[in-house]
Structure 1
């Protein structure tokens, strides 16, 4: 198969601030594979967790190095290609782009959307949350109003872990709840709390009716999660602490759920493994995203019927998304009936 690599930049309508910094735009990687006159598409977006990251340039360079190695293969040889990835220590974002593209190719080959190939029930997809980044209380209220005007919002994920401490977190969350009286709220600290602050916040958040807390402690502090779980009335989800299926068994006694992102997992193949591993360990499953366009989020939406929670909103915050695919209907990101991912290029993106 032939591999083509292109870069494209997407800009956020509203910059997103989390405990680790602010993002206003990213340059993502669009991968096309061609085999038997069928073209499959995939995407990789750069991301960072603590001192670990995968940049656009790193992803692009790996893809260009892999292209000649992949030429003898068919997209149907995913197991053999996965072994090639392991042998060459290919980063997860690179694997994700190629794996998504191979799945898209397969769906187009057989003329079916992926969710249908897997026998999934599209009507089982739950509403997605949309994200409110760290900000002042007043600006957080404005951002909440923006989301309410832009989309049919049912759920809000509020980013906490402010560098100004948990009192600032409390003021901001209360401001969001005052503005969004009909929406349920989740909280994601992105590892921005100490153990003591996390215990205090989980108990305070429970009194406000918050559904769960995501990544309260920094990646690397997983052993303290068992102490937090013992004192938290809220379910605990992890994101930065869980990249792939091998991470799940060691976390199973510490948390209540995991956040699966295609860029961390390495694509749909591993994401499906993670779902089954998590369920076998008694954990709930969420699908999330980085600065992904409609291309990646539509790929994740193909597996969305298996998720307990969804946070696939990054494409909704783009002013110039070059793709169309999954649609937001009644607060749910629903894949369409087109073959493969069902994604098309929209040259008129603004």
Structure 2
């Protein structure tokens, strides 16, 4: 099989600020796997999870070096290909792009959407949250209004962990709550709190009926999670601290759920493993995203009936997404009936 790589740039309508940085634009890799006249598509997105960034240059270089290695395989050999990539220590977004493309190729080869191949029930898909980045109270209000103008939004995720401290977090959250008193809200600190502040904020957020807190402590502070769990009432989900299924067992007794992102996990294959491991430990599951286009979020939507919570909104905040696939209906992101991922290319005007 042949591997083709093309870089493309995505621009956010509204830059997203979280506790450790702001993103306005990224350059991602569009990966095509070609075999027997069929193309399978995947995407690799650069990201940082509170540590060293995985950059576009790293992604592009890795993909170009991999192309000759993959020529001897066929898309039916996903297990062997995955093992080769793991043994070669290939970074996760590159493994993700290849894995997604292989799944897309297979779905197209049998003329079925992936969700149907897996026998999943689209009617069980929950609403996806959309994200309000760190901002001033007035800025957060305006961002909420813009989201509500854009689509039928049912759930918000509010980014906390402001460098200005928890009082700034509180004022911003109160502004959002005041703007949408009837919407469900999740809180995500992206590791921006100390243990002391996480305990304070957990109790405060619980009084406002916030559903859960995500990554309250920084990656590397996992030893403090048992104390946090014992001293605050909200469910704890982890993102930056949990990349793949091997991370779950050591965390399971200190948390309530995990945030699975395809770029972290290495693709749909590993994401499904993570779901099984999480369920074995009676944990809840959510799916999230980085600066991903509709291609990756549509891939995640294929298995979204298996999730308790969804945060697949990155493509909704793009002004130049070259792909279309899963469709937002009544706040829910539904994969379509087209084969494979069901993703199509659309020209983006300059």
Q: Same fold (TM over 0.5)?
A: yes
Q: Which secondary structure does the structure 2 equivalent of 1:48 belong to?
A: coil
Contact 2:92 2:264 in 1 (8 A): yes
What does 1:31-50 correspond to in 2, within 5 Å? Answer: 31-50=31-50
Which residue pairs with 2:298 in the alignment? Answer: 298
Deviation at 1:349, TM superposition (A): 5.4
Q: Secondary structure at the match of 1:258?
A: strand
Q: d(CA) in 2 for partners of 1:100 and 1:80? A: 15
Q: Cα deviation per residue 1:183-220 (whole Å; 9 max; x = unaligned)?
A: 11000000000000000000000000000000000000
SS at match of 2:53: strand
The reply to whether residue 237 of structure 1 matches residue 231 of structure 2 is no
Aligned-pair distance for 1:254? 0.7
Cα pair 2:28 2:45 within 8 Å, conserved: yes
- Structure 1 residue 49: Cα displacement: 1.9
Instruction: Measure how far apart 1:52 and its partner are.
Output: 2.0
3-state SS in 2 of match to 1:147: helix
Structure 1, unmatched stretches of 5+, are none
* 1:98 alignment partner in structure 2: 98
Taking a change above 3 Å as real, the CA distance of residues 52 and 348 of structure 1, as seen in their structure-2 partners, is closer
Match of 1:136? 136
Secondary structure, in 3 states, of the residue corresponding to 2:48?
A: strand
The root-mean-square deviation of aligned C-alpha atoms, in Å, is 0.7
Question: Hey, what's the Cα distance between the residues in 1 that align with 2:316 and 2:159?
Answer: 17
Q: Deviations over 1:307-338 (max 9, x none)?
A: 00000000000011100100000100000000
Q: State whether residues 35 and 75 of structure 2, in contact with CA within 8 Å, keep that contact through their aligned partners in structure 1.
A: yes
Query: Which residue in the other structure is 2:271 paired with?
Result: 271
Q: Are the aligned partners of 1:322 and 1:349 in contact in 2 as well (CA < 8 Å)?
A: no
Q: Tell me the secondary structure at the aligned position of residue 252 of structure 1.
A: helix
Give the superposition deviation at 1:51: 2.8
CA contact (8 A) 1:321 1:349 kept: no
**Aligned equivalents of 2:227 and 2:98: distance in 1?**
39
Q: Is the 8 A contact 2:43 2:96 kept in 1?
A: yes
Alpha-carbon distance in structure 2 between the residues aligned to 1:349 and 1:276: 42
State the shift of 1:86 in Å: 1.7
**Residues 77-226 of structure 1 correspond to what in structure 2 (within 5 A)?**
77-226=77-226
Q: Is the 8 A contact 2:132 2:140 kept in 1?
A: yes
What's 1:11 paired with?
11
Runs of 4+ aligned structure 1 residues displaced above 6 Å come to none
Describe the shift of the 1:43–1:349 C-alpha distance in structure 2 as closer, same or farther (beyond 3 A).
farther
Supply the distance in 1 between the matched residues of 2:31 and 2:314 (Cα, whole angstroms): 19
SS at 1:27 equivalent: strand
Task: State the Cα distance separating 1:182 from its structure 2 match.
Answer: 2.3
Separation in 2, partners of 1:29, 1:188: 27
TM superposition shift of 1:50: 2.5
Tell me how far apart the structure 2 counterparts of residues 83 and 199 of structure 1 sit (CA, whole Å): 41
Do the aligned residues in 1 keep the contact of 2:321 with 2:348 (CA within 8 Å)?
no
Correspondences of 1:333-344 after superposition (within 5 Å): 333-344=333-344
Q: Distance in 2 between matches of 1:226 and 1:47?
A: 28
Conserved 8 A contact 1:113-1:339:
yes
Deviations 1:282-329 (A, max 9, x none): 100000000000000000000100000000000000011100100000
In 2, the alpha carbon distance for the partners of 1:150 and 1:21 equals: 25
- Unpaired runs of 5+ residues, structure 2, are none
- Residue 51 of structure 2: aligned partner: 51
State how many pairs are aligned: 350
Cα deviation code 1:46-96 (max 9, x no counterpart): 001223221011011111101000001001101110111122111100000
* TM-score, normalised relative to structure 2: 0.99
User: How far apart are 1:348 and its partner, in Å?
Assistant: 3.7
Change (3 A) 1:223 1:349: farther
Q: How does the TM-score come out when normalised to structure 1?
A: 0.99
Mapped to 2, the partners of 1:12 and 1:50 lie a distance apart of 21
